Structure 1
């Protein structure tokens, strides 16, 4: 029987790994060997914790990510040790208060970790389970708590230093390489955005959908800027300029999406707008070519300003120039002239955002620029998820402590230490149940492979170097698997527990009884965590998607009635983060209609929110008259009432109907208004209301959420 090529394809990571995966495996194995040799040479009591620390911090990613991860793990480790000493000193003879304090501390760390980003969250996770490891390791003799704390802390620091030392051997000219990589990523994002904008100028619906994917890619890049800054430390505010570029690109895509909607709605009812579209597309084509060559952007910016001036001039001409010879009726001319102004203004906003993007991109390219520019991106905290993670961790650990008290198991301390470790780590994942399952699978594989080495290999080997050569195979396979996203959760747990199951020591190997007891503790911690996370707030993708939709709709509800308004880029960032979560839930969904609904629904919410902010500013300013403001207030109240809790069809249809009525009344008012400033504002209000009405009408299935 001949096996097909498709049979071997899932194992390509093993027999044909990428170059980066090979380098990662080699440097991590080297760091493991260095940490193990030093720990044995210093005659530490449990050298396996040193190599376990290497695999905790190991990551096949940018150097900045590894540095950030190492830093926050050390900070978390020190924090956990300090708290461990405080808890043991406070409750040395009160088991109930002692166990309750541990459960509360780990739950608190889970809560904080759920409210933070990147490896700061991992630092809080580390503070939780390092405290638990120290406390449960010393529970039989509280007088040894300080020595055990110092020992465990030394192991982690030794492992992290060994990993960082070997990683630096592969990093040449890190500052410039990081700057070059950051600029390449930014330029690719800008080029993709320009391509999408060029297609949107033709009203291409596919380009609008493609921009959704670009937005999610930019969220990942925005998170990675923090790590690039670690690599470029001392090079000014390049990271701030990079964040400004990405924020501007997001705004550019949103404005281009709005323009494509305007074009689709009124492109057949204009006077002379269409002539400028080919000019703009030709400019965008030349701009992409110039970005690829890496030349100066000064000439490009002058051409961009010329296009902006042309749009501004056409808007002015539509107000002042006498075009009676082209009119069929005054109403017909007024309507088409207004449509021209709306499209010119929408295009002008796109060009203005593009200019900001190019200027910030030019500044991010300058490696020697040392300005005082700051650009902060506010993170959106999900307190509901944080509380759920904290409650799940608390009850899982509390029930584990209860089981230990009832059974009196002599390895219960080890079981609880690994249970706390798992509960703390699971809060980093949206799907905690899936992460728990990966943890359990990795632990089972580690027990099987570790048992084979402990019973078959290690008794026949007395030389450390030869033993480590034999360990290259299981650890190397684990390292290669860590470079595959779908295998990483299982592989990282496997490598961690495999190092623990071998139990390196100067005085000899782990005997069979101890190995089986340790294996049972590891296995039961996985089983208990998996059962607990299926019992408390079990993960359901459909329910999570509904919660994210409710979160977006409540955001619109708050925008329409809140006393303070966020910046437009803050709203874009809020929706983009929620959008990425939704896309991850739909990543494996084969229902393309559902995926399309969620993608366009998220973009619609973003667009509606941006235009609500514009309308709120119009109401706040004194340019418009009170009767116009009253109409806008009615529309905003309708949107505020449409908050997602009672999103029946009648409410949705009534909101769309009121938006259309406001558009009709504003068109009539704009044609007769003599005050030029008021006419300009009314035109802008019509533009925003067109986008709101269209987005509400075309995304009804996403915006109307059923109670169940």
Structure 2
């Protein structure tokens, strides 16, 4: 009995050990992909900050604390983000240094004029930042507050201004080099791997979403929420692509391909939305006049297939592309057979059927093209054609002007108070206001972020007082100094990684370094530290109060102006140059909607209204671009019927005017223009019996016209409310 038991016991023990090892390894992988990344970023930030401070001290630079501050402002989780931010920080610092020296030289011993100049410069840089995206925004912001950071303390000492600018440049350069080196050497997290993972998730999620839409399994609210997240996904992917450009030569070579891939994804999303709108209207229509939708169900079943067991994502995508191409090849024949049946039983439904078939064919083509591009990009050794697409961001000029006025008002108020009261710490208060206006300019809730930064700065001042009075006097040597600073710096870095409390972390980290960071010669002046801390907190609270009371981001007129800019994308679709028009329209519409989503965060009703304007803008604008392309290709129609060109021009003009300022009269004129163009195209189709190509051209034009008309009358869209006010006028 003992023999078999002795044999089984080690086997069971070994199996249990293997199970424990697999569980532990899975837990470790899960931790590394979640909390482990946060702790890695925190550790790298603290190491880079201490390294920058040590090098600045070794080089005997005037203020090593600035090098450490640079690290905390600069560090990002991805190495490509650090490199991109570093480049724009260098450029912004150089421009800010030049501005500081120029303003100091122009207004020697004239503080009033200097305050006016620095206020206008800061406001102009903040406004320019709002016109840009990603870390280009940071470059403009830095050019503004660097000028204040260098020039304000030395406005009455012009002889020291140039040397201060050179010292600041050297300290910032040390911080940039340390950030980049630590990010690239210590467990680097490449932007390329993040992009690859995002593309894989996007492929699986979008096909599942499309299957649910085509099968009619999504409610209106669910669809709108999912589509809004697709908008955010497009914008965030473009941001990550921009960061990856600075990472390595491979990502730079693929940057154009990635931009084209994002453009193809936007096209697929727009086609899916158009199909969903058409399906919704077919469900509303009379069952006796509605065409069958079995082609939609067939494609939905095809897209519902998930990867097989042990099948990689690329193999699944290849299998899906083959199925889509087979569906696309057989679709025209199936459509012709279905059309003959409908022509004999439901002739009134022919136009709806043609529109459905055209949209379904285009969506299948766009989705297959996107998947082929993704497979090509992810397959090693494949040569990629140069990408021609370009993401073009859009920002309303009202938003830019708003940012300029808001920054100028806060800066001018604090500058006036400083001059009138001769406040000893007024210069630092002005610097803090400049930092607050700059860093909160792109925030969805600038007032809350400024208040969080103020509380973080208050905690930094208290902590700095403790360190100045009790820690620094008892520290002997650089290693002990680093050990003493690690808990404080790690706390600030940890808070900055949490989205809900990031403002506290930014305020604590940045202003602890500025107020109480160690220099080569530590000056023990706790009274000055307290006064400076009060000045910083007061300046931030003043800025936060101004953002809430005078310039709240939720002002109705500002949101309305942003909605006008969003609707203006349809005007672009109607009047813009056709070359690259689709890409300009798509990227601008997504960018403006992303800005509206940020501004309207926490206001569900206003957000829902803006999203519906975005959806009808995307729907009508995309159809207009397609119609203009088809009309350009079908140039024979202008010769065939001389009425076509004036009718087509009138259609574009009336729809552009409708979206500039929607009302009942403009909607009636737009519908009348669509109806007139439809009659002309229908008459041309009725005369084309032998020419198959021209018949197809006319059918496609009719499909686009019918889709535009149904979109203008959609009862769920904002224009549908106008139509319901006087229904007899819109029959």
Written as runs of structure 1 = structure 2, the 5 A alignment for 1:243-322 is: 243-266=259-282, 268=287, 274-286=293-305, 292-295=312-315, 301-315=321-335
The whole-number CA distance in structure 2 between the counterparts of 1:84 and 1:619 is: 56
Residue 522 of structure 2 is aligned to residue 508 of structure 1: yes
Written as runs of structure 1 = structure 2, the 5 A alignment for 1:87-236 is: 87-172=103-188, 178-206=191-219, 208-209=223-224, 210-235=226-251
String of CA shifts for 1:624-673, please: whole Å, max 9, x gaps: 2334555544443432332353x345544664576568668866774565
Provide the residue aligned with 2:394 in structure 1: 380
String of CA shifts for 1:445-484, please: whole Å, max 9, x gaps: 2223323333444445455544443433332222111111
Provide the residue aligned with 2:374 in structure 1: 361
- TM-score between the two structures when normalised by the length of structure 1: 0.86
Provide the residue aligned with 1:694 in structure 2: 710
Provide the residue aligned with 1:615 in structure 2: 627
> Does the C-alpha gap of structure 1 residues 581 and 269 become closer, same or farther in structure 2, counting only changes over 3 Å?
farther
Written as runs of structure 1 = structure 2, the 5 A alignment for 1:368-447 is: 368-369=381-382, 371=384, 373-374=386-387, 375-447=389-461
1:496, distance to aligned residue in structure 2 (A) = 0.5
> Does the C-alpha gap of structure 1 residues 534 and 595 become closer, same or farther in structure 2, counting only changes over 3 Å?
closer
Provide the residue aligned with 1:52 in structure 2: 69
Residue 362 of structure 2 is aligned to residue 344 of structure 1: no
Gaps of 5+ in 1: 1-15
Residue 96 of structure 2 is aligned to residue 80 of structure 1: yes
Contact 1:57 1:160 in 2 (8 A): yes
Contact 1:139 1:413 in 2 (8 A): no
Contact 2:267 2:366 in 1 (8 A): yes
String of CA shifts for 1:246-286, please: whole Å, max 9, x gaps: 22122112112222333344475689965544543343245
Residue 591 of structure 2 is aligned to residue 582 of structure 1: no
The whole-number CA distance in structure 2 between the counterparts of 1:500 and 1:237 is: 40
The whole-number CA distance in structure 2 between the counterparts of 1:108 and 1:477 is: 34
Residue 497 of structure 2 is aligned to residue 477 of structure 1: no
RMSD: 3.4
Provide the residue aligned with 2:567 in structure 1: 553
* Partner SS, residue 486 of structure 1: helix
String of CA shifts for 1:322-364, please: whole Å, max 9, x gaps: x5xx58x86x554445544332222211121122202211232
Written as runs of structure 1 = structure 2, the 5 A alignment for 1:318-337 is: 332=345, 334-337=347-350
* Partner SS, residue 245 of structure 2: helix
The whole-number CA distance in structure 1 between the counterparts of 2:153 and 2:455 is: 25
1:697, distance to aligned residue in structure 2 (A) = 2.9
The whole-number CA distance in structure 2 between the counterparts of 1:562 and 1:304 is: 33
1:29, distance to aligned residue in structure 2 (A) = 1.5
The one of 539, 551, 558 equivalent to 1:525 is: 539
Contact 2:123 2:405 in 1 (8 A): yes
Provide the residue aligned with 1:13 in structure 2: none
Provide the residue aligned with 1:605 in structure 2: 617
The whole-number CA distance in structure 2 between the counterparts of 1:468 and 1:180 is: 33
The whole-number CA distance in structure 2 between the counterparts of 1:274 and 1:651 is: 33
String of CA shifts for 1:149-201, please: whole Å, max 9, x gaps: 121112111122222232233235x6xx5434322211211222212222222
Moved more, 474-483 or 359-368: 359-368
1:594, distance to aligned residue in structure 2 (A) = 5.3
1:118, distance to aligned residue in structure 2 (A) = 0.7
Contact 2:688 2:694 in 1 (8 A): yes
1:148, distance to aligned residue in structure 2 (A) = 1.0
> Does the C-alpha gap of structure 1 residues 73 and 612 become closer, same or farther in structure 2, counting only changes over 3 Å?
same
The whole-number CA distance in structure 2 between the counterparts of 1:271 and 1:671 is: 22
String of CA shifts for 1:216-241, please: whole Å, max 9, x gaps: 22221121111123223345632222
The whole-number CA distance in structure 2 between the counterparts of 1:652 and 1:272 is: 27
The whole-number CA distance in structure 1 between the counterparts of 2:577 and 2:264 is: 26
Moved more, 543-552 or 697-706: 697-706
> Does the C-alpha gap of structure 1 residues 87 and 582 become closer, same or farther in structure 2, counting only changes over 3 Å?
closer
- TM-score between the two structures when normalised by the length of structure 2: 0.83
> Does the C-alpha gap of structure 1 residues 558 and 446 become closer, same or farther in structure 2, counting only changes over 3 Å?
same
Written as runs of structure 1 = structure 2, the 5 A alignment for 1:444-459 is: 444-459=458-473
Moved more, 147-156 or 545-554: 545-554
Contact 1:237 1:371 in 2 (8 A): no
Contact 1:92 1:142 in 2 (8 A): yes
1:596, distance to aligned residue in structure 2 (A) = 4.2
Aligned residues: 677
Contact 2:351 2:703 in 1 (8 A): no
* Partner SS, residue 390 of structure 2: coil
